[in-house]
Structures are given as C-alpha cells and as structure tokens.
Structure 1
Amino acid sequence: MKHTLAIRDLTLKHRQRTLVDRADLTLKAGEVHALVGASGSGKSLTCLGILDLLPPGVHSSGASLLLDGQRVEAASLRGREVALVLQNPRSAFNPVRSLRQHALETLQARSIQGAEAERLIHATLLEVGLFDGQRVLDSFAFQLSGGMLQRMMIALALLADSRFLLADEPTSDLDVVAQARFLDLLERLVAQRHLGVLLITHDMGVVARCADQVTVMAHGRIVEQADVHTLFHAPQSQEARTLLAAHHSLTMENCPA
C-alpha cells in the first residue's frame, strides 16, 4: 500500500438528493488515473470531495480517505501531500498578491525562506517551462495567460512537495498548442517526479494519450474501472461506449477515406 491515495465510499448529497453515490478511487504514485463521464456525471464533485472542498449546501457522509493505507483527514493533505489544479486557474490565485508572494507562502509552510527559497522557486519555474521567471513572479494572475497560470499551479504543487495532483479539466480552457504543452509537462513530471495524478476530463483523446487507469462515472456512480487499453478495446459500460463513439466520430477514426 505504499504511495497510494484512496477514497472509499464517497457519498455527496445536496439536501435529500444524492450527487455522488459510494465512489471508490485509488491513485498510485507514478500513474495517471483518468476520471471520465458526461457533463453532470459527478466527476468534479468527486475531485472536490476527496479534499473536502465542497460547494455550499453539499455535504459528504461516511467517506474514508487513506494515504498509504492509513486513514487521514483531508485538511492535513491539502496543499501538502495533495495539490489541486483547477479548470479556471485564475480563480485559484489571490488577485492582489503577486505570484512571487504565492510561491514564497507555499515554501514558508515547509520552513524554506530567504535565498534557498528564491533558488528553489526559479529552478521550479524552469522545470515547468516558465523561462521568464522574473517577469512571471512579479506579475499578478490577471496579467498572465491561462496556460501560464496552469503551469504556475503545477509549480506551486512541486514547491509544496506534493505527491499527488488532482487536475480538474485542466486543458479545457487552453488552445490546442497550450494543451499539448501542458500534457507534455504532466507526462514528464509523472515520470520524473513519480507524481500520482487524478485527471478529470471528458476528452478521450487526452485519456488515450496520458492515462494508465480509467474510471467512468454516470449519474453520480462509478460504472466501470479498467486500464486504458482494456477500456478502449473492450468497454463494458454504456457510458464508456458512448464516450468512445463520440471520440471516434470527432476524430474521424474508423471512417472510410
């Protein structure tokens, strides 16, 4: 059970309505686990539920969060063992604080300050492909592109020395070039840093490229879990078959010339 993050029996409700019903997920270091499903299937809520960052009115009941097999509280993991990358990265930054202030605050939690902090920040920005580090650090979130802010969010996760990354539709607001660069970065960090990633997406092309394991959700329930090769070649659930049919249609796969 080394280097795993698991959620067991996650149930989320709003008043009497069940939004996510007894979901089980296990992330492993060095792997990308894709969570897929149609809009409204419960993917993003499941992601937020893992870290107990739920919208007002939504509550969790009975879930267990396990880090390397040991039960833990979500609050002890947020921004430490587990980092979150949001679909709209601009909303994750304090608009009146520079990105340098965000980075320094992250390192202060690890008791790293002064010259060592500056050295580590610049090295990490280079690692995530932010080569104009001085300008980036002096900027505020509104002054940078969405792709740059996505990379900065990953840089903050690396500065926090997080082992797991939860990425909620991280490429949906990026253009095609920025998407490709982001996925290149993600794959490299999984391999080099041995990150464990939960990648929430409806893009089966992204799944085919990046994922090792896939979980399929429909109407708040997990309906299928399989390795990526099995899912693409022998899907068992109707939801998976529908997603794959849409993917093949959009990419013109299996179509006559």
Structure 2
Amino acid sequence: MTRTLSIQGLCLTHQQRTLVEQLDLTLKAGEVHALVGASGSGKSLSCLGILDLLPPGVHSQGGTLRLDGHVVQPAQLRGREAALVLQNPRSAFNPVRSLRQHAQETLRSRGLRGVHADQLILDTLNEVGLNDGPRVLDSFAFQLSGGMLQRFMIALALLADSHFLLADEPTSDLDVVAQARFLDLLERLVAERNLGVLLITHDMGVVARCADQVSVMAHGRIVEQADVHTLFNTPQSEEARTLLAAHHALTLETCTP
C-alpha cells in the first residue's frame, strides 16, 4: 500500500483575517506534489501550518492530519514521519552547535548512539553528496554554503527515517548549479527512498522537472489541482495561466513536461 499524508480543512488566521482557508492536500510516497502560487498566496504558511510551526499571532482554526488514513497530531509528525527543509537553511541550525551535534541529536531521538550511529551519519552524508563528512560534521552552519546546508537538512531527514519531506522554496536562494544538483538529489531520493515530497515553489521550471501533482494557490485558497501534464497543457485557473505565461516569457520556451 502506498503511504499517504493528507491535510484536510486547514484554516489559518491572524486576528480577524483569514490567511489560509480550507486547504486540502494529499502527499503520496514516491511522488512530488508541488504547491505553487504568487508571493503572498499562502504557500509557505500552509507548509508551516501542516506541522504546527506557525509564526507568533497566526493560529490554526481547523484542519485534520491523516497518516495512512489514521488521524495524527502535528507533534507526532515533526522530525519523525515528516521533515522540513527551509528556504533559508541557516536559520534551522543552532549557531553554537556543530553539525555533528545536530546529527547525533537526531539519532538519539531514535535510540541510536555510538559507533553504529557515527557510521550511519557518514554513510548518509555520502548519500546526499556531502563526501567530506568529517570536515562537514566539525563545521558550524555559518561555515557552509546554502547548498551544503540544504543537503545536510535532507541528511537529517533521512537520519530521522522520515517518509515525507516538506520543502519550502528550497532552490530560491541557490545559484543555478547548486539548484540543479539539489533537484538531482531530490529526484534520486524520491525514487530510491520512496519519499513523498511537498515542494513549495513559484518556479514553474522546477515544477515541470520534478512534480507529479500540482496544486495552485491564490489568496489563501487552492484554486486548481491537477497532474503536472494536465496543468501545463490545459490550465483551468487564471492563476495557473498567469504563472505559466510568466514562465514562458522568462524562458522563451513552451516547456511541456
């Protein structure tokens, strides 16, 4: 059976204003589900809302999480079944702790320590393309590039044995070479590890390359959901047509996935 993570009826508010209204999404193992939309549409906030990591003043007014059909709480998912990769990965790390300490802490939560844990960390770093493991582990977050930190965040997700990855604009702060390498890694892990990925992005080129399913968001609501081929060939919503038109204008290509 294909593993699934679904959110139904997520509503997020700030004071009297509704920021996200009745969000419904389903992630499947082995697939990338892209959540796209213009800046301010509610994409990143929805991602944080799924794991109940909302900024101060923003509150959830409803929403049901189901893992393989069973109702769960966000705390049961965070750092376990689901892991988060942020747009600015540097903000996710304690600046006074080495990356080795971050990795060891992740494995301790699974009851893994000692020589076996140390070897698992090195093997996982190699898997995500961080081949100079000892140097990386002895470093602090400020000593590594954004691309390396993105990879390390994915390594932490693998060390936690997470089955779902929520990636919030993971390529927007990377140069084109680092972006391509990150997407190569993501596609490989989806295929080899059977990860289910929620990919938050406004880059339709990334969507064309990686996504299986796409949800289009506007003004806090999902206005269209379709598989990637259908969305690119026959978009139904004005928001999807606008995003695709902007992408075609920038790339000067039709870019049918």
Range into which the TM-score falls when normalised by the shorter chain: over 0.9
Q: String of CA shifts for 1:84-128, please: whole Å, max 9, x gaps.
A: 000000000000000000000000000000000001000000000
- Give unmatched runs, 5+ long, in structure 2: none
Instruction: Give the alignment's TM-score, normalised by structure 1.
Output: 0.98
Partner of 1:39: 39
Partner of 1:73: 73
Distance 1:187 1:171 in 2: 14
Q: How many residue pairs end up in the alignment?
A: 254
Q: String of CA shifts for 1:113-170, please: whole Å, max 9, x gaps.
A: 0000001000000000001000000000000000000000000000000000000000
Partner of 2:132: 132
Amino acid at match of 1:125: L
- Give unmatched runs, 5+ long, in structure 1: none
Flag as ranges the 4+ runs of structure 1 deviating above 2 A: none
**Cα RMSD after superposing both structures:** 0.7
Distance 2:2 2:50 in 1: 19
Does residue 232 of the first structure (1) align with residue 211 of the second (2)? no
Identity %: 81
Does residue 157 of the first structure (1) align with residue 173 of the second (2)? no
Contact 1:2 1:69 in 2 (8 A): no
Partner of 1:5: 5
SS in structure 1 at match of 2:35: strand
> How do residues 127-206 of structure 1 correspond to structure 2 at under 5 angstroms?
127-206=127-206
SS in structure 2 at match of 1:63: strand
Distance 2:222 2:101 in 1: 40
Distance 2:16 2:241 in 1: 31
Partner of 2:121: 121
Partner of 2:57: 57
Distance 1:64 1:212 in 2: 24
SS in structure 2 at match of 1:75: helix
Distance 2:77 2:117 in 1: 22
